[in-house]
Structure 1
């Protein structure tokens, strides 16, 4: 396989992974937090997310071939008994978000172009299916660019409308709070909007694997570009949207504008486009997590594996991968699995050096044949569309999914990987400390988010 992803194309995909329909809920969060606290939480969330992504990038470099990195590979090295748990967290997070996007497609387009929700959900297949059949994340760069153009229109629309209305705005009458928190219960209920707004860990390893020049410097550039742009958009939309409508701002700020305006309708259409074009970016890691779970379950059930009887039919995260073939054409036996688990559950004095990491990683490449690729794709799409057509109200479930799944993959898992992989490395004290902070932050955010979801519903 030829690796052609650039820093720019990877930044586009990661930015689009972060920035979706949730952007339009930021003004509502600011209306509860006040400007200062809202900005502070946004910056904290951006910084924590960027550090978590950076930990994943550094972790990938512990492998002899960093292009084989994945959550499964690194968990197999560090916490083999929990690989299924972490992949399940990824599955739940991506599946829940993808399902919510289909429901939103059915809610947004009828108000703009007519027809019923079922018509538009079915119609989205025309765009979603071809994009979901692409096997490399970098292949989605053009659809991500279109999505970012749609986001650019929405952002410009909100900014321009703010400056048009600015001369007549009375911030006191609107109930604008600059430093005071308007509602503590409201802040709790909207906490997850800001904290989970930057979730992008699900695609981080695909970006590390596909970058043409995947040095840590380039990986950090991608992270900085993406999180920086996303943070800027969140701050601009959150501030101008809140200042435009004050305490009357709605959960989707587009709903505050004149629904009969052509520009508003274009904004609603752009929102629908953003949702559709975000779907494949969630589906890509969802499919990988599903395949990893199937593999883990087969191992648990004691099945023996010859990874690929036909090497030409082999795929990892990206099919037809010739360069990775020497690593992935191996047999994972129960003896290898048990040996690795014994190493990881031995006394704390056990030291796993970089060489052992490499050897273990080479034994834990997940098979992903073309046949399995298409079967999993078909089953996932069928399940998502069946639920999307029949389910409308699942806000509580989705909030709990975000509180647990997003926290796990954004903070807890990167911290756990960083701690385990670097704890015996020299000159890694800062990484170890940062990893511990990341883990602590993750569990704190999870507790607060679950508590807020159950006791302070929006």
Structure 2
């Protein structure tokens, strides 16, 4: 059993940081996940249920990782795996976390390309190349990122403003058929509603939304950190953090998804901000807020991705010279930027990443670690919990296989 800390973060601080880590720009792609299977306003009813159910299952997986750390004293996701499933296979979660952060950076680059090109009214790929070379690269080359940490608050403020702005535009009817702004957007982005309502959730296409949600709630590789940094980190207190954090995140994601889908219906773009007119001042401010937030949070995600690749390459920390770090940074950022220039649909990246790596990190790995530690320590009273976790793991595998297939098919 891990020792209980007497110093650390309070429950409110942990809840805020957890919500901040979960609710990011990925939520702006969720309306497209609803549009993947529905076209009538009632399609949001089952979508809202899915948002809640997947959020609860994700929170359960997050809580399981904390429990494994409490039982074993592990201080990281990989260490938790090593102490339960085995050291010989610890490369599995290591690869998963690294490539998951790679996909997160790819999605960030795609959103930045769409956002800045809309703000500056320039071509998408040229804008991305300029922003990467002049802004992202210098920030990613920084050796000390502590100065960027306060800017992460901009992400929360930006998403809060975006939710308000989207609500204003839904209520004032600016993008309805006779709205004052609808004529200023291209025909494929204008509101389009049909007769595919709540029953359409039975379509296999609904699994695209399910897999996007696996990515949307992804914070699980930081679960050990949240448990260890919690003041008086007993499991009941940690579970309270998880319950509040995921509960608030479920509400925010559901609300923003609802407003976006009820405004544009079947036409929701992979990044719903693209549906709004470039001359819309309310949404223009939202684009600026999202862009600034992403610019300063990008290096934090990129550093995790870069360090993950260096770990997989078995390059010790003391051998990572400034020249090595700079070379890997330039090469990796070049690969991400090239991929972002080719890919246009952020919702595909999120759906595919969620179907594969997201489902594994959220449902499968926590269940395997929990089952292993219960067996190791002879905790027979937790047999029911193991059965529930394994059922969740099987569900994650099935959803992942079908969802990945549907995501790939959506490209064609």
- Output the TM-score relative to the length of structure 2: 0.80
Runs (5+) with no aligned partner, structure 1: 299-366
Q: Out of 396, 405, 417, which is 2:357 matched to? A: 405
2:379 corresponding residue in structure 1 = 425
2:104 corresponding residue in structure 1 = 97
1:39 maps onto 2:45 in alignment:
no
1:445 corresponding residue in structure 2 = 399
- Structure 1 or 2, whichever has the larger Rg, is 1
Q: Out of 144, 156, 161, which is 1:133 matched to? A: 144
1:48 maps onto 2:57 in alignment:
yes
Q: Out of 10, 13, 18, which is 2:14 matched to? A: 10
Q: Out of 51, 72, 77, which is 1:71 matched to? A: 77
Q: Comparing 46-55 with 122-131, which one deviates more in the overlay?
A: 122-131
1:147 maps onto 2:155 in alignment:
yes
Matches within 5 A, 1:316-395: 368-369=317-318, 372=320, 378=326, 380-391=328-339, 392-394=341-343
2:257 and 2:202 map into 1 onto residues whose CA distance is 17
1:280 and 1:17 map into 2 onto residues whose CA distance is 15
2:128 corresponding residue in structure 1 = 117
The question of whether the paired residues in 2 share the 8 Å contact of 1:134 and 1:140 is answered with: yes
CA gap 1:442/1:257 in 2 versus in 1, 3 angstroms: same
Runs (5+) with no aligned partner, structure 2: 179-190
The question of whether the paired residues in 1 share the 8 Å contact of 2:137 and 2:330 is answered with: no
1:335 corresponding residue in structure 2 = none
CA gap 1:397/1:142 in 2 versus in 1, 3 angstroms: closer
Q: CA offsets per residue over residues 201-249 of structure 1, 9 Å max, x none?
A: 1222222233343322332233223212221111111112212222233
The question of whether the paired residues in 2 share the 8 Å contact of 1:60 and 1:69 is answered with: yes
Q: Out of 85, 89, 93, which is 1:82 matched to? A: 89
Aligned residues: 380
The question of whether the paired residues in 1 share the 8 Å contact of 2:28 and 2:273 is answered with: yes
The question of whether the paired residues in 1 share the 8 Å contact of 2:119 and 2:278 is answered with: no
Q: In the TM superposition, what is the alpha-carbon distance from 1:377 to its structure 2 partner?
A: 5.4
Q: In the TM superposition, what is the alpha-carbon distance from 1:277 to its structure 2 partner?
A: 4.2
The question of whether the paired residues in 1 share the 8 Å contact of 2:151 and 2:293 is answered with: no
2:183 corresponding residue in structure 1 = none
The question of whether the paired residues in 1 share the 8 Å contact of 2:15 and 2:241 is answered with: yes
CA gap 1:279/1:228 in 2 versus in 1, 3 angstroms: farther
CA gap 1:186/1:404 in 2 versus in 1, 3 angstroms: closer
In angstroms, what is the RMSD of aligned CA positions? 3.4
CA gap 1:404/1:43 in 2 versus in 1, 3 angstroms: same
- Output the TM-score relative to the length of structure 1: 0.73
CA gap 1:140/1:49 in 2 versus in 1, 3 angstroms: farther
Q: In the TM superposition, what is the alpha-carbon distance from 1:415 to its structure 2 partner?
A: 0.7
